[in-house]
């Protein structure tokens, strides 16, 4: 009796371990289907490689990551690097790896700091937008500190500036059409290249997590 329970428990535990290992395994070694190891570009801890425009994945919302992987698969998000990789993932593998990265908490990757003037101009745009052109501030959807909201509005704080620039340019070019209600396409269409550079620099400069609440602001 005891050995049966023990056996079942052991089986159960190894199944969980296998599931957990899957995400880690895919990230480190790729898949038998031919997907390249994610960590070679997105970093060992999902922190990304800012200078190359390989985005940070650690701590992004799980549904957001799944939505992006599905978008690469169905072509509503075009990218020569990511599309073949995602094509090689099964439905289950997509879910597994999305959960793996969503649960990660990696420190921010080192990046060359941008010019303070660019960061300041970006901060202004992020806070107050460019309403004469009908463009809201980025923070009105992504949160004042760029931490993101729910499953739909991704965190931008601490993300690679090169990646943010690429993302905005791909909306402008029509290579990314996966945003709900066309919200980001509309925003990107109103941005000029200087604004894109500045706002990307600003978001890269921010910490990836909410600062701990100071004691006197506790409820």
Partner 1 sequence: MSGNPIKPSTWAAGVVALAAAGFIGHMLPSTGTAPEQPAASAQPAKQAKSESPTPKAVAPVQETAAPARKTEATSASYTPPAESDIPKGPFGDMVRLGEAIFHDTQHNAKGFVGNDLQCANCHIDRGRQPNSAPLGAAYLLYPAYRSKNGHVNTFQERLQGCFRFSMNGKAPPFNDKVLVALETYAYFLARGGPTGVAVEGHGYPKLKAPGQPADYDRGAKVYAQHCALCHGAGGEGQKSADGQTVFPPLWGPRSFNWGAGMGSINNAAGFIKANMPLGLGGTLSDQDAWDVATYMDSQERPQDPRFVDSVTETRKRFHDEPTSKYGLIVNGVLLGEKSPPSGTINTMD
Given the rule CB under 6 A, which residues bind ligand HEC? Answer: 26, 35-36, 38, 40-42, 53-55, 57, 60, 65, 67-69, 79, 81-82, 85, 97, 125, 136, 138, 140-142, 152-154, 156, 164, 166-168, 170, 178-180, 183-184, 187, 191, 199
Contact 129, 194 (CB under 8 A): no
Q: Pattern of binders to partner 1 over 109-138, x per CB under 8 A? A: ---------------x---xxxxx-xxx--
Contact 176, 68 (CB under 8 A): no
Report, in Å, the least distance between residue 50 CB and ligand HEC.
12
Interaction partner, residue 144 (partner 1, ligand HEC, none; CB < 5-8 Å by kind): partner 1
Q: How far is CA 4 from CA 1, 11, 12, 16, in A?
A: 5, 10, 12, 18
Of 151, 164, 176, 190, which is closest to residue 63 (Cα–Cα)? Answer: 151
Cα distance between residue 143 and residue 198, in whole Å: 18
For partner 1, the closer of residues 38 and 191 by Cβ is 191
Given the rule CB under 8 A, which of 68-76, 91-99, 158-166, 210-218 is the region that contacts partner 1?
Answer: 210-218
Sign for the CA dihedral angle at 67, 185, 80, 107 comes to negative
Report, in Å, the least distance between residue 209 CB and partner 1.
8
Of 73, 65, 61, 67, which is closest to residue 33 (Cα–Cα)? Answer: 73
For ligand HEC, the closer of residues 12 and 183 by Cβ is 183
Residue 165 Ramachandran class (φ > 0 left, ψ -120 to 50 alpha, else beta): alpha
Q: Which parts of this chain interact with partner 1 (CB under 8 A)?
A: 124, 128-132, 134-136, 139-145, 147-150, 152-153, 155, 180-183, 186-187, 209-211, 217, 219
């Amino acid at each position: 009796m005891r050995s049966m329970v023990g056996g079942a428990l052991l089986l159960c535990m190894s199944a969980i371990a296998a599931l957990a290992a899957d995400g880690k395994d895919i990230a480190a070694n790729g898949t038998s289907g031919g997907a390249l190891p994610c960590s070679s570009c997105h970093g060992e801890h999902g922190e990304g490689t800012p200078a190359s425009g390989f985005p940070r994945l650690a701590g992004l919302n799980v549904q957001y990551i799944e939505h992006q992987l599905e978008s690469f698969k169905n072509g509503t998000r075009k990218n020569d690097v990511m599309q073949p990789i995602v094509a090689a993932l099964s439905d289950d593998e997509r879910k597994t790896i999305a959960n793996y990265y969503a649960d990660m908490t990696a420190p921010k990757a080192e990046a060359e700091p941008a010019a303070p003037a660019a960061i300041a101009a970006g901060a202004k745009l992020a806070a107050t937008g460019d309403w004469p052109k009908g463009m809201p501030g980025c923070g009105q959807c992504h949160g004042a500190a760029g931490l993101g909201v729910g499953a739909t509005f991704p965190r931008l704080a601490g993300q690679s500036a090169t990646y943010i620039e690429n993302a905005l340019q791909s909306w402008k070019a029509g290579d990314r059409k996966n945003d709900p209600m066309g919200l980001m396409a509309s925003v990107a269409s109103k941005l000029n290249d200087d604004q894109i550079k500045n706002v990307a620099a600003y978001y890269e400069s921010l910490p990836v997590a909410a600062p701990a609440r100071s004691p006197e602001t506790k409820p």
